[in-house]
Amino acid sequence: MENRTISILGCGWYGLAMAKALVVAGYHVNGSTTSTEKLETFSKFNIQPYLINFDGESVNYDETFFNCDVLIISIPPKRNAQADYPSKIKNIAIAAEKAKVKQVIFISSTGIFQNGNFILDEETIPEPNTTAGQVLSEAETALKGAQAFTTTIIRFAGLIGPERNLAKHFAGKTDIANGLAPINLIHLDDCIGITKTIIEQKAFGNIYHGVTPSHPSRKDFYTKACLTSGFEKPQFIDELLDWKQVESKNVARNLAYQFKIENWMEYVGSV
């Protein structure tokens, strides 16, 4: 059957959960890590384990990892090595091309966009003004320019879900700036759901924004999230400084995907 072998390069918080979900759905999954401690965990969940490193001079990988129908690249830029990120992605692209991979899904971020005080979607051209945004843009461009495979880009918003309660970062704090700015978040369940839908529908070659279509203010969301979690109430300043609101038109238009979490205020009222 088509697209039955999936390789996930970078099995971190999203990547490992994605791998587990694909195994349950009947796919053969190869998973990579740079940590030997994780290899046993992969095997336990019937994920074929690979120790792979594309960092700087220490590039080391098993070519059989790239014998797959779909390659998911889920490696965010490291804060202390952002300058090396585009070359790392280019080296991965070369390995994928050598192995004749046909479909690459690159996990990017809505952090590629500047805070332009605007509502944006997949047709908006990013003009990144941070180092992380700039290296993501270079990586996207390098992959989209590859001729040997089709590149699909998923730009996830802020990630929330198991072991990621973002409210703790605001608990008890006062005079928090930009309280009226809209939030851009997505739950892990929807990260997995969108990725699986793209694979199942073969809806490759597009840019997708993985962002829940619910954008309450930072003040409303994080205040309620803190109270629901039993944390001390934060104090936000009622002001609107630099902001952006990211919409995911292609998720609805191309995939007809139904978000599992549709309303953040309802979600934080129930967790």
Domain 5-159+184-213+245-260: homologous superfamily in CATH: NAD(P)-binding Rossmann-like Domain (3.40.50.720)
Q: Which residue has the tokens 């990144």?
A: 128
Q: Where are the domains of the chain?
A: 5-159+184-213+245-260
pLDDT tens profile 89-139: 999 999 999 999 999 999 999 999 999 999 999 999 999 999 999 999 999
Residues 16 and 44 sit within 8 Å (Cβ to Cβ): no
Model confidence over 181-235: pLDDT tens digits?
999 999 999 999 999 999 999 999 999 999 999 999 999 999 999 999 999 999 9
pTM of the model: 0.95
Q: Which among 44, 36, 86 has a CA at the least distance from the CA of 60? A: 36
Who contacts 46 (Cβ-Cβ below 8 Å, separation ≥6)?
Answer: 23, 29
- Nearest-5° angle of CA 228, CA 234, CA 236? 125
Query: Could you tell me the two tokens for 218?
Result: 């930072």
- Of 76, 135, 133, 128, the closest CA to residue 107 belongs to 76
Indicate the pLDDT class of residue 271, thresholds 50, 70 and 90. low
Report how far residue 94's alpha carbon sits from residue 147's, in angstroms, rounded to the nearest whole number: 11
